Amino acid sequence: MRLPARAAQSNSENAPFFEGATAGRLILPKCSICDFVIWFPREICPECSSQEVGWFEASGRGTIYSCTTTRRIPGSWGKVTPFVLAYVELEEGPRVMTNIVECDPESVSIGDSVEAVFEEALNRDGEPGPPLLRFRPTQS
């Protein structure tokens, strides 16, 4: 079942990430001074405090660092249970909170290989917003 998809509110600091998502590309921030791949997207490096941040296209591949199948939850998410909440560790390093989709929620495990998918999302006014970065099991 399709999961709720409320678009995130982007701002001038994280706009390249969401512009990338709109184009179906995973664009991540990277510190221009120490090369650290920054998560969550922002224009400051949490490792060296530099505010010089560049952006690059990541592979979209990763593995599941942790995951839970949620079975009871209030509100709109309660209509789509069971669903999988997860942290995916990207090949480039960051651990990213997300959902695992296009899968059997009973068969998702830590260590599974996954790949990025961008799912359509709507703003509060019902208009399309930046798509959401979710992941599905790697299609081999």
Partner 1 sequence: MSIKGKAFIAGIYEHPGRHLPDRTLPQIHADVGLGALADAGLSTSDVDAYYSAGDAPGFGVLSMIDYLGLECRYLNDTETGGSSYLLHAQHAATAIAAGHIDVALITLAGKPLTGGAGPGGSGRVGGAPEAPFESQWGMSVPGGYALAAQRHMHEFGTTSEQLAEIKVAASTHAQHNPQALLQDLVTVEEVIESPMISDPLHRLDCCVITDGGGAMVIVSEAVANSLERHSIPILGTGTYVKSSQSGRIDLTHTGAVKSGPLAFTEAGITPSDIDYVSIYDSFTITVLITLEDLGFCERGDGGRFVSDGNLQAPHGALPFNTDGGGLCNNHPANRGGMTKVIEAVRQLRGEANTPVQVGDCELALAHGTGGSLATRSASSTMILGRSL
* Residue 132 contacts partner 1 per CB under 8 A: yes
* Residue 97 contacts partner 1 per CB under 8 A: yes
Pick 74 or 126: Cβ nearer partner 1: 74
Query: 23 is written with which tokens?
Result: 């184009």
- Residue from 90, 99, 100, 28 nearest 63 by CA: 90
User: CB 99 → partner 1: shortest distance, Å?
Assistant: 5
User: CB 16 → partner 1: shortest distance, Å?
Assistant: 13
Restricted to residues 35-54, the positions that interact with partner 1 (CB under 8 A) are: 36-42, 46-47
Given a contact cutoff of 8 angstroms between Cβ atoms, the answer to whether 67 and 43 are in contact is: no
Cα–Cα distance between 58 and 19 in angstroms, integer?
A: 14
CA gyration radius, the chain: 16
**Binding residue for partner 1, selected from 55, 87, 113, 136, defined by CB under 8 A:** 87
* Residue 98 contacts partner 1 per CB under 8 A: yes
- Residue from 63, 35, 57, 61 nearest 48 by CA: 35
Cα–Cα distance between 5 and 119 in angstroms, integer?
A: 8
* Residue 70 contacts partner 1 per CB under 8 A: yes
Pick 72 or 140: Cβ nearer partner 1: 72
